[in-house]
Amino acid sequence: MNFTKSNNSSILLNSLFNNRLLGVVIISKNGEIMDANNYFIEKLAYTKEEILHNRLINFFAVKEEKDSIETTFIGEQILLKKDGEFVGFNLTVDLLEGEFETHYLVLFQQENKQSADQFNKKKLELYNTQKESELNKQKVFYETILNNIPSDIAVFSLEHKYLFANLIALADPEKRSWIIGRDDFDYIEKYNKPLAIALERRKNFERVLNLREEFEIEEELTLANGKKKWVVRKMSPVFDENNELIFIIGYGLDITKIKQSENNIKKFMLAIEQSGASMLITNTDGIIEYVNPTFCKNGGFEKSNIIGQNFKSIQSKINESNVQQTMWDMITLEHTWKGVFSNKRKTGERFYEQAIVSPVFDEKGKKTNYVVVNEDITDRILFEEEKKKLIEELTSSYNELKQFTYITSHNLRAPVTNLVGIIDLIDLDLVEDKTTKELIFGFKKSTEKLNETLNDLIKTLIIKENTSLDFIRLSFQSLFNKTIQGIEQQIDKAKVEFDVNFDEAPDCVLISSYMESVFQNLITNSIKYAKPNVPAQIKIRSRREDGKTILTYKDNGIGMNLNKVKDRVFGLYQKFHKHSDSKGIGLYLVKSHIQAMKGNIEISSEVDRGTSFTITFK
C-alpha cells in the first residue's frame, strides 16, 4: 500500500506507525487486514504474516459483524491474543480514500486497567454466553444425528458412567435422562434386570479400557414375545489430540434380518448339499462355479477337478449335438430348458439325467448365472426300455397266439360242421346194437358241444378284433325295444315285468350291435336265474354324472355270493348255478362288449335278493 500523499491523513498515519503511540490497522472494505503497525502486532503476540490478509473480526473474542465497517469496529472490543489471553481496546475508524481504492484506518487505544477489567468482565460474559450457545447448537446437532442413526449408541466416561444414550438405546426419555451419570449396575437394580447383563458389559468395558482397542461381540437375545433377536455390539476407545483416552463409545446394531437371511441361506445350502438331485452353478459363459456332492457322486468326479471347467466340456459326446444346441439357445434367450442328458460316468458307465437348466438374474434383472438341476433317471430309463422290450415280446406272442386261434377255429369249424351234418343224417332207430347206439349218441353230444364252443370262441374274437365298428349316438329306448322284440317269446313265457326310464340320459354314443347284445344277455340271464314261481322284475335307469353316462340294471333273481365268486363273475365259462342250459359265456360277452365301447361294468349281488349292474360310459 502506498499512502505517501502530502495530506493530513497520510501524515497522521506515518506518525502513528513511526511513534507507535497506538495500535493501527488498515483494512479493506470487506474487513481484510492490509497492514498493521508493530504496536498492534506485539500486543496480540502474532507474527505480521499471521495477521496480514486475515479478517480483523477473526481476532475479536465476540464476533458481532454489523451492517457496516464503522458500526462493526467502533467502540469497546476484546481481542484474543495468540496465547489465549484477552486484551481490551477502544476502537475508532477513519476512512482512507486512495486514488484507486477505499480503505479504513482502525485505531486501537488500550484502556486503563480498572476500566479494562470491567470491560473484560462484561465482554467475557458475552463471549461465554456466545460459546455456550454455539456448544448447545452443536450438541443438539450431533444428538439429532445420533438419535436418527439405526443403532443404539452410548458414550461412557472412564469410570463407566453414562454420558449419553440415544433413542435406540433407551427410548423412554425418563430412563434416558436418569441414566446419565449412572452405570449398568444402577440400571439393573432400578429396573430389576439380570445381574449377568451388567457383569458382561463391565467386563467388555474394562477390556477396552485396559487394551485401548476396539472390542466386538455378537449377542443372541430372547424378547418378551419369545422371538429371537441378534445384535452386534462394539465398544471403541476415543482419544484426544495428545492420544489420551477421554471416553468410550458403545454401540449395537440389530442384525436380526441379516442373521435370519444367513440362517435361511445355510438351510438352503444344506438342502442343496444333501439333495438327492445333482446341482451345479455356472457363470454366463458356462464356467462351473459350484457343484454339490450328488453331482460329483453321479459322475464320479472330484469337485476340485470340476470347478473352473466349462459345462460343455463335461457333457458326454453321447448326447446329440442338437440337444445341447437347443439347450444353449433357450437359456441364452433367458428361457428355462428341460430335457434328458445321456452321459458317461468317469468309469465309462452310461447314465441318464432329467435336467432343468435355468438362468439366474440379480435384483436389476441382469443375468448372472445358470443353474443346472439333474435327477438320475437311469433306473427309470432302463425300466422303460425293459418294459418296451417286454411289450414288444408280449405283442409278438399275442399276435402269434391270435393267429394260431384264427387258424385253429377256421380249420376246425368246417370239419366240425361236417360232423354235425353227418351225425344228423344218422337214424339211431336203425341202429340195433345198444353199445353202438350209445357211442353214436355220445359222439353227437360232444360234437355239438365242440361246435358251440367254436362259435363262442369266434364271437369273442370278433369282439376283440372288430375295432372298425362305428360309434353313433343311439337312443337307449330304441335299443331296448329292438332287443326285447328278438326275445319276445322268452319274455312272455317268463312273464317278465319291466320298469324302464331313460329320461335323465336318453342317449349315448355307442355301437348298436354291442349294446343290443348287452341288453339281451342281461335280460336272458335275469329270466334264466329268476326265483322259482316268481316273475322276473327288471328295473333299468340312465343318468348323467360328472360328464359320464351311467346305466343301472337291477333284477329280483336268486343272486349270488360275491364273496366267493366276485373275481370270476365276468370270466369265460364260469358257472355259479346248476342250470343245464348255462354256458358261462353271457357275462363274459357283456363285459367284452362294454369294454370295446370304452365303458366299465360293476356288479352287486346278494343271495335271494337279486343282482344289479352299474355300467359307466365316458
Which has more pLDDT, 409 or 383? 383
Please check whether residues 366 and 396 belong to one and the same domain: no
Last residue of a domain, one of 116, 138, 160: 138
Please check whether residues 251 and 285 belong to one and the same domain: no
Please check whether residues 170 and 281 belong to one and the same domain: no
User: Does residue 599 fall inside a structural domain?
Assistant: yes
Number of domains in the chain: 5
Grid cell 335278493 is found at: 609
User: Does residue 455 fall inside a structural domain?
Assistant: no
pLDDT, one tens digit per residue, over 453-478 is: 656 555 555 555 555 567 899 999 99
User: Does residue 463 fall inside a structural domain?
Assistant: no
**Cα separation values, 322 from 209, 341, 343, Å:** 70, 12, 15
The answer, yes or no, to whether residue 2 has pLDDT greater than 50, is: no
pLDDT, one tens digit per residue, over 274-311 is: 787 888 888 988 898 888 888 888 877 788 888 888 88
Please check whether residues 295 and 344 belong to one and the same domain: yes
Q: How confident is the model at residue 10 (pLDDT cuts 50, 70, 90)?
A: low
Are 93 and 106 in contact, with CB atoms under 8 Å apart? yes
Q: What is the CATH number of the domain that holds 128?
A: 3.30.450.20
pTM: 0.38
- Model pLDDT, residue 390: 81
Tell me which residue of 472, 386, 456, 382 sits closest to 416, measured CA to CA.
456
Please check whether residues 479 and 611 belong to one and the same domain: yes
- Model pLDDT, residue 318: 47
Please check whether residues 409 and 509 belong to one and the same domain: no
Please check whether residues 505 and 537 belong to one and the same domain: yes
Last residue of a domain, one of 322, 349, 376: 376
Q: What is the CATH number of the domain that holds 501?
A: 3.30.565.10
Please check whether residues 219 and 286 belong to one and the same domain: no
User: Does residue 270 fall inside a structural domain?
Assistant: no
Instruction: Please enumerate in sequence order all residues whose Cβ is within 8 A of that of 520, keeping only pairs 6 or more positions apart, or say none.
Output: 483, 486, 487
Last residue of a domain, one of 336, 356, 376: 376
Grid cell 458389559 is found at: 201
Mutual orientation of helices 512-528 and 476-486 as an angle, nearest 10°? 60
C-alpha cell at 386: 425293459
C-alpha cell at 164: 449419553
Please check whether residues 132 and 25 belong to one and the same domain: yes
The answer, yes or no, to whether residue 234 has pLDDT greater than 70, is: yes
The answer, yes or no, to whether residue 159 has pLDDT greater than 50, is: yes
Please check whether residues 131 and 191 belong to one and the same domain: no
User: Does residue 94 fall inside a structural domain?
Assistant: yes
User: Does residue 467 fall inside a structural domain?
Assistant: no
The domain of 418 spans 383-443
Mean pLDDT is lowest, of 69-83, 511-525, 576-590, for 576-590
120-134: b or e for each residue (b if 16 or more CB lie within 10 Å)? beebeeebeeeeeee
Q: What is the mean pLDDT of the chain?
A: 80
Distance of CA 190 to the CA centre of its chain: 47
The answer, yes or no, to whether residue 253 has pLDDT greater than 80, is: yes
Please check whether residues 393 and 368 belong to one and the same domain: no
- Model pLDDT, residue 538: 95
With pLDDT > 70 as the criterion, what percentage of the chain qualifies? 80
User: Does residue 406 fall inside a structural domain?
Assistant: yes
User: Does residue 223 fall inside a structural domain?
Assistant: yes
Q: What is the mean pLDDT of residues 127-150?
A: 73
pLDDT, one tens digit per residue, over 542-574 is: 999 999 999 999 999 998 888 877 667 776 545
Burial class (CB in 10 A: 0-12, 13-18, 19+), 574: middle
Which has more pLDDT, 590 or 8? 590
Please check whether residues 411 and 529 belong to one and the same domain: no
Are 508 and 548 in contact, with CB atoms under 8 Å apart? no
